[in-house]
Amino acid sequence: MTEFWSFIGTNIEPLFHLFVNIMILVFQGIILKGFTEDYFKDRHLRKLKYDRGFALITLGAFILVMILSKLMHVSIYGLMVVGTINTLLIIVIITLVLENGKAKLLNSFITLLIAIWGVGNILLVVQLVREGIELWGMLK
pLDDT by residue (tens digit) across 3-61? 777 777 777 777 777 777 777 778 777 877 777 777 777 766 677 777 777 778 877 87
Classify the phi-psi angles of 16: left when phi > 0, otherwise alpha if psi is within -120 to 50, otherwise beta.
Answer: alpha
Mean pLDDT of the chain: 75
Using the predicted structure, report yes or no on whether residue 140 has a pLDDT greater than 60. no
Model confidence at 117, pLDDT cuts 50, 70, 90, reads confident
Stated pTM of the model: 0.64
Q: State the Cα–Cα distance between residues 37 and 74, nearest whole angstrom.
A: 36
Domain spans of the chain, in order of start: 2-138
Q: Choose among 7, 138, 29: nearest CA to 75.
A: 138
